[in-house]
Chains A and B, each alone.
Chain A
Amino acid sequence: MSIIEVEHLTKYYGKSRGIVDVSFNVDEGEIFGFIGPNGAGKSTTIRLLLSLIHPTSGNARVFGKDVVTHGPEIRRDIGYLPSEVYYYEGMKVIDLLKYSASFYACDCTARLKELSELMELELNRRISDLSYGNKKKVGIVQGLLHSPRLLFLDEPTAGLDPLMQRKFFDLVRQENARGVTVFFSSHILGEVQRLCTRVGIIREGKIAEISDIHTLQQNNYKKVHITAQGLDPHAFDIPGVTNLQSEDSSVHFFFKGDINLVLRKIAPLQVSDVSIEEPSLEEIFMHYYE
């Protein structure tokens, strides 16, 4: 079942582009990665889904309900962690979290405690005294304390130290194992690769590609690296090869197509080293932006 259905969603801020004709679905229980550089429209998409802003055209449904008309109902089951967290500066952490919890029908006290302990949050400090990373932790706790069915994470790891990042990822995985759907927006591909099952790539406000993360890696380019004596780089200038680069006795390139063609070229050589690997998402990503 689709938790998020986006159809031809378009948003212009006056004349400047937000997103154009974006369509995609997110299924229940998956971790959907949404990647693109800054300004590509990631936050715009999330803000549309949360009805913080209104679409110029197109529509979007969350839990099968239209986001424009059923906002409050939908938001009951949504947790949101914005990329920049800001809270009422004068409040204490615990008061903010209690205020946040009071919007939901659940008794969130136990969960609040559990999450704060996990994130090592000091509950009695004032928000204004917190560092950026600590505010982010408050954001994580307040986004999760009502046990939402759907999580929107907008570049969530910025400001978190590596240890906290790992804890946070474990937390997201745990939530996901409980059946929570996660919409994970990021421009850091490594973390998307670690966490997500499917990714959508957004570029200049338009969806460039939506695919399973493994298909994205497999059906694409292979990264080939060969070191051999008396290597003739031009021998590898065959159809399917891109980014051919050579130095001294080694050559590396991307290849898409029947890998046997490359293997046959390698076979007669006296190789000292050869590797054929899947490119990182980073490299695939760069390809979409060329």
Chain B
Amino acid sequence: MSATIYKHEFFSRLKSVLVWSVSLMLLVLFFFSIFQSFADQAALLNEMMAQFPPALLEAFGITKTDLSSVLGYFSFLLVFVQLCLAIQAGNYGFGLVSIEETELTADFLLTKPVSRLQIITSKLLVAFSCLLLTDLAVTASTFIAIALLSGGRPYDTGTLGLLLVSMLILQLFFLSVGMVISLLVHRVRSVTPYSLALGFGAYILAAFSGIFGDVKLEYITPFKQIDAAYIVLHNAYDMPLLLVNLAVTVVALLASYALYLRRDIPTAS
């Protein structure tokens, strides 16, 4: 870990963190601003939901969700927050080391008296800090939204905690998987298409996994591994799936280290 790199990287990411954090805070507040009208007309709402084709509801993961409860509603909006967080974390993961090669600054950094272990560790810690800051922003806005806009409806704090922590688990997954993919391909030219593809890809898989109930897609898509609806329903994580998720994260992380330490830095031209 090199404090020099950490400082430099952190400040260069700060703007991105602010934009993501503020956007997500607004997203949460916006969703919650219409919660009361949802909740007040729960009966009507459930009647309306019954009209929708079940496959569509499955795709949005709201079959088992009671939208008139605080956590039910939160778990519904959390899917969108998760999608954003996945794309953000994917961005950081794909760009973590590849950005130095795309912008051809790898030569500069890697000829300094720091080891690659220090470089990748510092960069990972920066990305981790940034994701954590975003999480804190979302958490803060969630508590503010519930306090101001839920009309004092009761909810289970423990389950809310599980939901909020699940964001971090999801972020770490996309961060490390993004990073390992960026090290496996020859050269990442632009980060965003990759992270969008990974984020939306995983999300769509999760949606399909809902439609074809018997196909075991949940083993590969993190949106199913940490399904907000499941957490609300059971007040717990789906342990086997969570472990699969964590295992993928750890393997991707270790593989990234191994690949980066041995990597041949392409010539800048």
For window 131-170 of chain B, which residues contact chain A by CB distance below 8 Å? none
Interface residue from A88, A103, A104 paired with B12 (Cβ < 8 Å): A88
State the CA gap A205–B117 with chains docked (Å). 31
- Chain B residue contacts of A102, Cβ below 8 A: 4
Asked if residues B103 and A86 are in contact (CB atoms below 8 Å), the reply is yes
Most chain B CB neighbours (cut-off 10 Å) among A13, A89, A99: A99
The digit string for A16-53, where 1 denotes a CB below 8 A from any CB of B, is 00000000000000000000000000010001001111
B20 to chain A, nearest CB (A): 19
Determine whether A87 belongs to the interface, using a CB cutoff of 8 Å to chain B.
yes
Asked if residues A103 and B107 are in contact (CB atoms below 8 Å), the reply is no
B30 to chain A, nearest CB (A): 32
State the CA gap A99–B105 with chains docked (Å). 13
The digit string for A49-83, where 1 denotes a CB below 8 A from any CB of B, is 01111100000000000000001110110101011
Q: Given A84-B268, A86-B268, A88-B12, is A52 in contact with B107 using a C-beta cutoff of 8 Å? A: yes
- Chain A residue contacts of B265, Cβ below 8 A: 47, 52-53
A80 to chain B, nearest CB (A): 5
For window 96-149 of chain B, which residues contact chain A by CB distance below 8 Å? 103-108, 110-115, 118
Query: Which chain B residue lies CB-closest to A74?
Result: B113
Query: Which chain B residue lies CB-closest to A86?
Result: B104
Asked if residues B104 and A84 are in contact (CB atoms below 8 Å), the reply is yes
Query: Which chain B residue lies CB-closest to A143?
Result: B111
Asked if residues A103 and B115 are in contact (CB atoms below 8 Å), the reply is no
A40 to chain B, nearest CB (A): 14
Determine whether B264 belongs to the interface, using a CB cutoff of 8 Å to chain A.
yes
Q: Given A43-B267, A47-B267, is A86 in contact with B108 using a C-beta cutoff of 8 Å? A: yes
Total contacting residues, chain A, CB less than 8 A: 29
Asked if residues A103 and B264 are in contact (CB atoms below 8 Å), the reply is no
Interface residue from B4, B103, B110 paired with A88 (Cβ < 8 Å): B103
Asked if residues B103 and A73 are in contact (CB atoms below 8 Å), the reply is no
- Chain B residue contacts of A75, Cβ below 8 A: 111-114
- Chain B residue contacts of A249, Cβ below 8 A: none
Q: Given A80-B111, A103-B4, A103-B113, is A88 in contact with B105 using a C-beta cutoff of 8 Å? A: yes
- Chain A residue contacts of B108, Cβ below 8 A: 86-87, 100, 142
Determine whether B8 belongs to the interface, using a CB cutoff of 8 Å to chain A.
yes
State the CA gap A285–B268 with chains docked (Å). 27
- Chain B residue contacts of A104, Cβ below 8 A: 113
Besides A47-B265, A76-B113, A86-B107, 13 more A-B contacts (Cβ < 8 Å) are A50-B110, A50-B111, A52-B110, A52-B264, A72-B113, A72-B118, A84-B104, A87-B108, A88-B105, A99-B8, A103-B113, A103-B114, A104-B113
B235 to chain A, nearest CB (A): 47
Residues of A whose CB lies within 8 Å of any CB of B are: 13, 43, 47, 50-54, 71-73, 75-76, 78, 80, 82-84, 86-90, 99-100, 102-104, 142
- Chain B residue contacts of A78, Cβ below 8 A: 111
Query: Which chain B residue lies CB-closest to A83?
Result: B269
- Chain A residue contacts of B114, Cβ below 8 A: 72, 75, 103
A269 to chain B, nearest CB (A): 54
Determine whether B262 belongs to the interface, using a CB cutoff of 8 Å to chain A.
yes
Asked if residues B115 and A72 are in contact (CB atoms below 8 Å), the reply is yes
Most chain B CB neighbours (cut-off 10 Å) among A43, A47, A50, A73: A47
Asked if residues A87 and B105 are in contact (CB atoms below 8 Å), the reply is yes
- Chain B residue contacts of A142, Cβ below 8 A: 108
> 8 closest A-B pairs (Cβ-Cβ)?
A86-B104, A53-B264, A76-B113, A103-B112, A75-B113, A52-B265, A80-B111, A72-B115
List 16 interface pairs A-B (beta carbons < 8 Å), by A numbering: A43-B267, A52-B110, A52-B111, A52-B264, A72-B114, A76-B113, A82-B268, A83-B269, A86-B103, A86-B105, A87-B105, A88-B12, A90-B12, A100-B112, A102-B4, A103-B2
State the CA gap A104–B112 with chains docked (Å). 8
State the CA gap A84–B115 with chains docked (Å). 23
State the CA gap A159–B108 with chains docked (Å). 19
Asked if residues B113 and A99 are in contact (CB atoms below 8 Å), the reply is no
- Chain A residue contacts of B4, Cβ below 8 A: 99, 102-103
Query: Which chain A residue lies CB-closest to B116?
Result: A71
State the CA gap A75–B110 with chains docked (Å). 9
B256 to chain A, nearest CB (A): 17
State the CA gap A73–B113 with chains docked (Å). 6
Query: Which chain A residue lies CB-closest to B104?
Result: A86
- Chain B residue contacts of A53, Cβ below 8 A: 264-265
Most chain A CB neighbours (cut-off 10 Å) among B2, B113, B264: B113
Query: Which chain B residue lies CB-closest to A76?
Result: B113
A156 to chain B, nearest CB (A): 14
